[in-house]
Chains A and B, each alone.
Chain A
């Protein structure tokens, strides 16, 4: 019957409800204590900054996925989009000798074109989001590869005509990928999207659409407009992630963004239940990324071999999902 859930409050402490709300945060705290006991270096400022830096690109890309998920869409093309903007921004410097603002604007424009294509094919042509963005993932990956002719772009690279590339990557651009800027950008993105989703009408509409698209439509909410906006934002954040990745690497390596997709998806899903939100949310995504980052960092410190790392990561994701869905049943 209905009514079950509200009565919970009266029952006092509910273990699973507690786990559902605070499971992710408790896990983070427990991990921190464990790693700290194993190696006190873990809690030194240098290492904390290190962890935050390591998760910033994943977080920014994951925030994009969070937005698409908030309208009950799914964007698998974010990894490829990051690769694309990585290639575009570096090529702007190295091949065309452009300034930082122009390089960034062009790269973001490229990401937005991907977002527009996604939005058009999902909203107008009505291809299911998961399938379409999967296809788009391959297409954009290919476009990025073709654009770089399958090679790494870097300063002083040898061009097809045998000469050396003369463009330099601006010093200001390099700063983006360094502490503290990279961390500040991540925090700004998380805060911005958290406010957007929770404190503005636009965010509320997105959650309403994600909750029940037909009810949203019959409430007079411009459903398609918000869906388009969600895919554009998703692509834009993926693009931003790619640009910062470029600044970290200072090169455009083949498919450099692709590996971020799965970590980002994991962060979003781990974050679903944070603080009992039960829906995609920016803070949760951040905590999800923190959890993954701490695991990676701590396990390296404890000399767990890199090839075993994915076992732990996957297990944590499965546990987080178990918490979310066991409660929902």
Chain B
């Protein structure tokens, strides 16, 4: 038997009880992640990608909760751990990076205080050793003159610098997995690429796996090895980045790919997906994408929703492929 994957998410369901009934924000999401692998998770806002990340690290905001499914890390089940046990996994085994570096750091503590505090939470070392380690980390994330910067407050640094600090904090205890939730969205375009490549380099050097959550297919195409496309709380397509980019199967993914400009493309217009994603209160019956789909047919409008099936080199949740398979099975 092969070694278990680093992370295994099985049929994860995240629900929010509201006054107008329970909303299913993440609906039976499953995927595996190998050691050191970079998985991109892409989708429009509201697709449930951030909530999937929060659910894995155990930081869902109440009243949100994991209603079904399981999360295993290195073969150990972690979604039902006690608060204290989960706390020791956070930071130590799983790190997280948030979208906005301007608000992710405590304005009243110096960079050094925040770093040494994090290091000493997970490693039994002295204050001076922790400070030395903090200096190494700052060096590693490319902060110039770290011995000076370590005593600065967050507001004294630029946005790009602060995101480097955030990355160093997330990696302080050398976690096996980092969940990066839109790590570059809030930054200037000129700095986005630097931060992405920094994250990619660090994780390769340390063998850290990454779940990169973004709505930017371009970032994923450059960074990730595999990609999961989410729509209305579900994974609608998952597979190697190269295959998804070159030969997307699900009509939604095709639409997303059409929205990325390509060099040398002779088309003078980018394709768009018409309409917008449904609200969670108002998900259509059948395939959630059917009102916007260009290849829709009768089957798509009837319940149930399509499941993920193998479609070429990727897996897609679309009746186009499920139909094919059923037909071959019947014939």
Partners in one complex: no
Residues of B within 8 A of A (CB): none
Residues of A within 8 A of B (CB): none
